Structure 1
Amino acid sequence: MIDFDQELDARGLNCPLPILKAKKALGGLEPGQTLRILATDPGSVKDFEAFANQTGNELLESSQSENEFQFVLKKITC
């Protein structure tokens, strides 16, 4: 498990809310800090991969346990 600076609980939310909330949370972090996101939307796996590619932030971890998904994003951009 990767250490993280902030956690976002997006469980129970459907697309596009987990991405929108993650974008807002990343805005409050400094470059180099990390955000862990917990989600239940199966579509969030592809959504967070695309989000990382489009924004230049780094997807450090993507995992699944039962019906829950976990992502760790590292803020790269300002």
Structure 2
Amino acid sequence: MTTPVATLDFSGMSCPAPLVGAKRVVDDLQPGQTLVLISDCPGTPDDLAAWAKVTGHEVLATEKQAGGKTAFTIRKGGGEKRRVNVTLDIRGVSCPGPIVEAKRLLDAMRPGEVLLLISNCPGSPSDVRAWTKGGAIELEAAVEAGRGSHEFYLKKN
């Protein structure tokens, strides 16, 4: 394993701060370089797993530390990053709210732009798939992000 380029300690900060901090540093790394992220937020493992799956980065190791902290070693992948123009994190809103709000945002977006919809409504996966069969919106990807959350990459045609 390579020597980490940086160590980020986000202990005491709630999610999504650790993920946002890691993303900012990883964006500046070369493919294959690593960093260590330290967090005590219980949502960080799920956040990192979902983010790594979508971006092509890799969580190489997790190491429990004193005080409820965990150190995550993250390696930047060499793959292409998924392009997102707007993010709508609507966790906690029941269906059909996620679709209604996504449609409102997509109506204001230009063709070719991508909306990342994040929802934990249990009906969202089937609702989004049914909605995107109409052709005006393309479902580029659907990712199970952990803890019942789903990420949908929706491209306006």
The equivalent residue for 1:27 is 27
- After TM superposition, where is structure 1 displaced by more than 6 Å over at least 4 residues in a row? none
- TM-score of the superposition, structure 2-length normalised? 0.46
Counterparts of 1:2 and 1:28 in 2: how far apart (Å)? 16
Q: Conserved in 2, the CA contact under 8 Å of 1:2 and 1:72?
A: no
* Higher relative contact order structure (alpha carbons within 8 Å, sequence separation ≥ 6): 1
The equivalent residue for 1:7 is 7
Identity %: 33
Residue aligned with 2:3, SS: coil
The equivalent residue for 1:76 is 77
Structure 2 unmatched runs, 5+: 81-157
Counterparts of 1:38 and 1:63 in 2: how far apart (Å)? 9
* Bigger CA radius of gyration: 2
Structure 1 unmatched runs, 5+: none
- TM-score of the superposition, structure 1-length normalised? 0.87
The equivalent residue for 1:39 is 39
For these two proteins, the number of residue pairs brought into alignment is 78
Residue aligned with 2:36, SS: strand
Q: Conserved in 2, the CA contact under 8 Å of 1:61 and 1:71?
A: yes
Counterparts of 2:32 and 2:57 in 1: how far apart (Å)? 9
Query: 61-70 or 32-41, which moves further after superposition?
Result: 61-70
